[in-house]
Amino acid sequence: MTDTVLVVEDDADVRETTRLVLERRGFAVHTARDGAEGYEMAMRLRPDVAVVDVAMPHVDGLSLTRALVAAGGCPVLLLTARDLPDDQVTGFEAGAFDYVTKPFDSRVLAARLRALIGRTCAPTGVERYGPLTVDRDAQIVWRDGVEITLSPTELRLLWLLLDNCGIVLTRSTILAEVWGRSGWADDHLVDVNVQRLRARIGPDLITTVRGTGYRVDAS
């Protein structure tokens, strides 16, 4: 099955160029001219991934990313000229899966998209961890029989912690595994997302190991 990509970009030239280079790399590509149209198309078409420009009028890329995360939509790769670490952290905190700066190499963008699509395909099977029941294939989590809505980032974080039950994971390990970043670490990004996950699944399952990282105790 062909991987589908939604390109959300207000600049017509950049939008068309991105569409062409991705189609040449084997993707089926849909395009949207702004964040509002992008959200509607993402909800209707359910693409495998969205490539979203950050600097768009009215509904910018970060707002669109947050909206897609809240609605359980497709994962987002942000495509932008902003390349400072703070900009990247802001993008990941909004819920983006990856971040590529302009100008981009088409081979690199295609490789990052395929890696992202592969990374968001969870293993199959229903599993139980204490009060949690998870169906990784359907991307559904229940606590004590009640379904919990989690964002794509929260799901990736939960899968990682559950796969390492009883093991302390450092913040740098979590950052590398969940966000694909090993060259730099930002404790705040990890801490914020762990707190969000705790608020969803309950504060009793994730233990903070001071000065090191986090551990899940659910058997």
Domain with CATH 1.10.10.10 in the chain: 126-216
- Please give the CATH number for the structural domain made up of 126-216: 1.10.10.10
Residue 124 pLDDT > 50:
no
Rounded Cα gap, residues 41 and 111, in angstroms:
24
Section 162-180 average pLDDT: 87
Rounded Cα gap, residues 88 and 1, in angstroms:
31
Number of H helices, E strands in the chain: 8, 12
Q: Would you tell me which CATH number, out of the four given (3.40.50.2300, 3.30.465.10, 3.90.320.10, 3.40.190.10), belongs to the domain 4-119?
A: 3.40.50.2300
Rounded Cα gap, residues 160 and 152, in angstroms:
12
Close Cβ partners of 135 (under 8 Å, ≥ 6 residues apart): 125, 126, 141
Q: What is the pLDDT of residue 28?
A: 92
User: Residue 127 class from Cβ within 10 Å (0-12 exposed, 13-18 middle, 19+ buried)?
Assistant: exposed
* Whether 34 contacts 8, CB under 8 Å: yes
Section 24-48 average pLDDT: 93
CA angle 211, 214, 215 (to 5 degrees): 135
Section 145-174 average pLDDT: 89
Would you say the pTM of this structure is higher than 0.75?
no
Domain with CATH 3.40.50.2300 in the chain: 4-119
Residue 84 pLDDT > 50:
yes
Sheet holding 132-135, edge to edge: 126-129, 132-135, 140-143, 146-148
Query: Cis link prior to 131 (omega < 30° from 0)?
Result: no
- pLDDT band at residue 136, thresholds of 50, 70 and 90? confident
Largest CA distance in the chain: 53
Q: What is the pLDDT of residue 184?
A: 52
Most confident among 49-53, 68-72, 77-81, 183-187 (mean pLDDT): 49-53
* Whether 117 contacts 88, CB under 8 Å: no
% the chain with pLDDT above 90: 42
> Angle 85-93/187-201 helices, nearest 10 degrees?
10
- pLDDT band at residue 42, thresholds of 50, 70 and 90? very high
Q: Which residue, chain included where needed, has tokens 């359980």? A: 72
Where is pLDDT greater, at 213 or 136? Answer: 213
